Amino acid sequence: MYPKELSNGQTNDSFTRREGCLVTRFIQGCLRTQEYRYEDYPILRTIQENVIGNDLIVHGPYGPRKVVYCDYTASGRCLAFIEDTIRQHVLPVYANTHSSTGYNAIQTTKFREDARHIIKQCVNCGKNDVVIFTGSGSTSAFHKLAWALKINLLRVAEETVVIVGPYEHHSNTLLWREYGTQVVRIRDDDNGYVDIKQLEEVLKFWKEKRQHVLVVMSACSNVTGILTDTDTVAVLAHSHGALVVFDYASGGPYLKMDMNSSEKGYKDAIILSPHKFVGGPGTPGILFAKKWIFKNSVPDRTGGGTVLYVTKQTHSYSSNIEEREEGGTPDIIGCIRAGLVFQLKQNVGTDIIHHREEESCQKAFNIWSVNPSIHILGSQTANRIPIFSFLTIHHATGKLVHHNFISLLLNELFGIQARSGCACAGPYGQDLLGISEPLAKKFITYLQDKRPGYEKNGPTKMEILKPGFTRLNLPYFYDDEHINYIIQAVDMVTKHGWKLLPQYTFDGQSGTWHQRAEGHMDVNTLIRLRDLDFNNKRHLDFAKNSTVKKGPSFKEILNKAQKMFKDTETSFKTPNVSDTRFSRDTLPRERHYRWFLTPEEATKMLSSTDLPVLGLKKRRYKHPFKAVQEAVLGSRNIDSTETFRKGHTTDRSEKSTGSKNSKDSNNNSESDVFVNAYGTDDKKGTSFTNKQVTLKKRFYSDSDVLNNFEPRSVRHSSRVKKDL
């Protein structure tokens, strides 16, 4: 196979690699022994038809469109039959679970404990496991875990090493950074998975240093959908005396979760956000953990329901971990709803979900892999669920089409609800986009509220320059018509979407895009809570909303979009509303950092008469960053993995003493440090390990902490002096 020649005469270097991916997936499809057809599983259509808002029609600049929700990675949507169950059977008998004698209280308590039991069964919890409902999603569960392990105490944090994977959510990195632990980030290997060899090396090193080691990794990337071999990681971590925790926030709705998969492959804890399940909005976060983790006798949130008794002089907390760690009146309805969505997932079955998602992935790659204008981030051959993050490339100029614009166009032109940005996974996104640390610091200067060279009251922040990508997922319960429509719409937008740029403009400070012409969505047209009229049958005033009951079919929308793109290309006229000075005045003077195609540049491309639309005589833009190609993943520096230590600033890639990059990093306003994976400062080679402790002791008891605790200011100053 030869690289495919693009319309501008260039070659697509990644085409051969993509063709190889197609062959691999074709062979995998042929080897499949069982056919999983959508029609054979009525429960899938039942789910799709019962999504509240499934038939919602919204008005946009291109006419009415049916909403096609593809952002389940961020949050699920409610299901009518689950909400009906709650409304008909739970709410009529609702009462506080801290009451214990009335019928309503007893029944409500029974519902909630049934939900806990269902969830335990679905995750294969044993007698030594507890299920804690906590707060709003995984973030609350992570904080609960840190408190249970006493990492919130400075001494414990200083002697703890947290090993994270390459594609972690911010909730699994910022917490450990702020507590002062040393955070080691393992790189991904050539196939996009967690690098097991490096993980083993790092575990061996810290075992010899007798540090407390906590391995906390995502079971699935919320950016690329790539999966982690959780059992292999768990066995490896336990063999080196480490604890292992998995974040199933993104993968939980689709993957099998097993707290006790094998003798050494058990999980010490699992973090979960049930609101990402279909039917899950309004559910709390969940922490699954071994009982022995909760050595704390005082819960992180004291309050009602946590105590055995309270007198004027003393009090005693409950010995029941699940009661003690769920202080205050819990989210009772949310907990019951969580049990119902777990039961629904169990009824569908992870095998059906897996094969349905595998089919969707294959369909998407069959189309997108031969589209030179779309760059799918991450490996295309790794095991994954259908979460896709992509860049849109304008080959004639070498620039990208802004991810926020692509996401908006998917919404307005096709009704597809996607997401754009970094998906709360900044370091992984930085890797995938090929952004170096010095370049990242340059972009940060454009994102700050105050920048040198600008007046105090002038515009300062330029979020429009923040790099990112467009992300969507293909839900397993969508029928083939929806899946095919989404895939074709993305293919069309990435190829031709830039041609509609002249119709749009952007706000440099917020990074948002909108139509130039009147009629684009105005926040004043949205329904507000104060429109609620309790005297008029207690419903919202929908006068502002569309009365259209049915929009055009998917086929009609695709045909109309295709015609629109073709007409725009062949009969384009420069619009009068175009202000050619807008981008020049809004964007920075350094042209090198204007990485996306502007409406004015698109206007010039379309209105050009001396050159074809994709002409070769245009000088191509030299991009400040270049997305990592799958074929070159293996060529990266093997020492690319960082360790974050709060209190310093450097980077493993900036190794030379007195280098320009090192000098720049020392001027950073925050005092944080990236050292190498083995806890040494590259500049001095000094170790950051603390005094030796017995590995079996692992985490401190209450008495240990009280006897060895020093005031934070004293400990902090001594630590900085020692590190320097």
Annotate 595-659 with DSSP letters as a single string: -B--HHHHHHHHH-SSS-TT-SSSPPP--S--PPPGGGGGGS-TT---EEEET----TT--STT-
Please check whether residue 519 lies inside any domain of the structure: yes
Minimum mean pLDDT range among 343-357, 416-430, 691-705: 691-705
Tell me what the mean pLDDT of segment 686-704 comes to: 35
Please check whether residue 121 lies inside any domain of the structure: yes
Whether residue 504 sits in one domain with residue 429: yes
Q: Which residues pair with 162 in a beta bridge?
A: 183, 214
Predicted pLDDT at 18? 47
Domains held by the chain: number: 2
Predicted pLDDT at 413? 97
Whether residue 90 sits in one domain with residue 60: no
* CATH number of the domain to which 229 belongs: 3.40.640.10
Q: Which helix (H) or strand (E) holds 269?
A: strand 269-272
Tell me what the mean pLDDT of segment 336-346 comes to: 98
Predicted pLDDT at 625? 74
Whether residue 202 sits in one domain with residue 164: yes
CB atoms within 10 A of CB 239: 12
Q: Half-sphere exposure of 289 toward its Cβ, with a 13 Å CA cutoff?
A: 24
Average pLDDT, the chain: 80
Q: How confident is the model at residue 5 (pLDDT cuts 50, 70, 90)?
A: very low
Please check whether residue 212 lies inside any domain of the structure: yes
Between 551 and 541, name the one with better pLDDT: 551
Distance CA 444, CA 323 (A): 44
Tell me what the mean pLDDT of segment 502-509 comes to: 90
Sequence-ordered list of residues with C-beta below 8 angstroms from that of 481, at least 6 positions apart, any chain: 554
Tell me what the mean pLDDT of segment 562-585 comes to: 67
Q: How confident is the model at residue 542 (pLDDT cuts 50, 70, 90)?
A: low
Whether residue 253 sits in one domain with residue 274: yes
* Residue whose pair of structure tokens reads 């999966």 in the numeric block: 227
Sequence-ordered list of residues with C-beta below 8 angstroms from that of 104, at least 6 positions apart, any chain: 93, 94, 95
Whether residue 504 sits in one domain with residue 388: yes
Whether residue 157 sits in one domain with residue 60: no
Please check whether residue 457 lies inside any domain of the structure: no
Taking only the tens place, the pLDDT of each residue in 103-139 is 999 999 999 999 999 999 999 999 999 999 999 899 9
Whether residue 180 sits in one domain with residue 104: yes
Predicted pLDDT at 702? 39
> Can you give the residue range of the structural domain that contains 495?
37-66+350-440+466-607
Whether residue 391 sits in one domain with residue 342: no
Predicted pLDDT at 33? 46
Q: Which helix (H) or strand (E) holds 397?
A: none
Minimum mean pLDDT range among 114-128, 163-177, 517-531, 573-587: 573-587
Whether residue 344 sits in one domain with residue 410: no
* CATH number of the domain to which 590 belongs: 3.90.1150.10
Q: How confident is the model at residue 222 (pLDDT cuts 50, 70, 90)?
A: very high
Tell me what the mean pLDDT of segment 93-110 comes to: 95
Q: How far is CA 442 from CA 302, 447, 665, in A?
A: 44, 9, 11
Taking only the tens place, the pLDDT of each residue in 373-390 is 999 999 989 999 999 999
Predicted pLDDT at 218? 97
Predicted pLDDT at 526? 74
Predicted pLDDT at 110? 97
Minimum mean pLDDT range among 25-34, 37-46, 291-300, 489-498: 25-34
Taking only the tens place, the pLDDT of each residue in 618-672 is 455 666 777 765 433 334 443 445 666 665 433 333 333 333 343 343 343 333 3
